């Protein structure tokens, strides 16, 4: 995705407020060999871009002062109740240096699985995004996960899916085997029936005599 940014020279609370009143959003771009640079963007164009998943999870092309550079969106500050961006941060990236980014997981096929179609189970998406490390050119916009093979009581871990070539998961103390992406939840009604079956007396069983009657004998 491409977007246009403009240089800004003034900073501070007052300058940022005037920018917002003029329909602009203040920001900064940093990283790489160049010094951090103050920028401003058209607020409406930025607001529409922020609605797109790819703007948050892919390498972006920023046009600034007639030159294009590759950047990542790193932080967005939004007004607590207005549809207004207060500030936005971008990071420059190098084609030869690996980056770390959170990428959305796109699940599909669960409606065709036996867990949902036959056993009427619920599918719990435990993770909705995955932190990965890769070169900018290898960064995927999303990672597909096929759930059509789900069965009652099953789970899917990171070890069971194939990441795109050149992409590695950032696990931070965990392993791929213990990183659960999806779990199948048995319907509450079925769990209640199973619990009743465990506590009910066996058919034909004689109720135990009360303690007082046992003492008299």
For residue range 179-204, list pLDDT tens digits in order: 999 999 987 656 555 555 555 555 55
Banded pLDDT at 11 (limits 50, 70, 90):
confident
Banded pLDDT at 214 (limits 50, 70, 90):
very low
User: CB under 8 Å to 82, separation ≥6 — which residues?
Assistant: none
Sheet (strand 129-134) strand order: 143-146, 99-108, 129-134, 168-169
Quote the pLDDT of residue 181. Answer: 97
- 85 within 8 A of 76, measured Cβ to Cβ: yes
Helix (H) or strand (E) holding 17: helix 13-21
User: CB under 8 Å to 206, separation ≥6 — which residues?
Assistant: none
Q: Are strands 155-157 and 180-185 parallel, antiparallel or unpaired?
A: antiparallel
Cα gap 121→19, rounded to integer Å: 52
- 2 within 8 A of 63, measured Cβ to Cβ: yes
Cα gap 37→7, rounded to integer Å: 8
CATH of 2-92, one of 2.40.240.10, 3.40.50.2300, 3.20.20.70, 3.90.1150.10: 2.40.240.10
- 140 within 8 A of 103, measured Cβ to Cβ: yes
Domain ranges of the chain: 2-92, 99-188
Q: What does the pLDDT look like over 136-146, one tens digit per residue?
A: 999 999 999 99
As given in the structure block, the two tokens for residue 112 are: 């065709």
Which of 74, 77, 94, 169 has the alpha carbon at shortest distance from 130?
169
Banded pLDDT at 15 (limits 50, 70, 90):
confident
Q: Report if pTM > 0.85.
A: no
Other beta carbons within 10 Å of 73: 21
175 CB-contact burial (10 Å; exposed 0-12 / middle 13-18 / buried 19+) = exposed
- Which fold, 99-188? RNA Polymerase Alpha Subunit; Chain A, domain 2 (2.170.120)
């Amino acid at each position: 995705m491409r977007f246009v940014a403009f240089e800004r020279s003034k900073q501070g609370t007052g300058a940022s407020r005037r920018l917002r009143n003029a329909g602009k959003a203040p920001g900064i771009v940093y990283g790489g060999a160049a010094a951090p640079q103050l920028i401003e963007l058209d607020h409406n164009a930025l607001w529409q871009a922020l609605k797109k998943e790819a703007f948050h999870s892919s390498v972006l092309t920023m046009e600034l002062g007639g030159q294009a550079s590759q950047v990542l969106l790193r932080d967005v500050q939004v007004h607590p109740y207005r549809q207004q961006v207060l500030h936005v941060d971008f990071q420059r990236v190098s084609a030869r240096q690996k980056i770390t980014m959170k990428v959305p997981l796109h699940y599909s096929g669960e409606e065709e699985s036996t867990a949902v179609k036959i056993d009427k189970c619920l599918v719990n998406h435990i993770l909705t995004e995955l932190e990965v490390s890769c070169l900018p050119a290898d960064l995927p916009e999303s990672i597909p996960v096929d759930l059509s093979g789900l069965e009652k009581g099953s789970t899917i871990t990171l070890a069971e899916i194939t990441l795109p070539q050149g992409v590695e998961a950032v696990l931070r103390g965990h392993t791929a085997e213990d990183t659960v992406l999806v779990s199948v939840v048995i319907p509450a009604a079925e769990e209640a029936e199973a619990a009743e079956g465990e506590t009910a007396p066996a058919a034909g069983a004689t109720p135990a005599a009360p303690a007082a009657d046992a003492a008299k004998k």
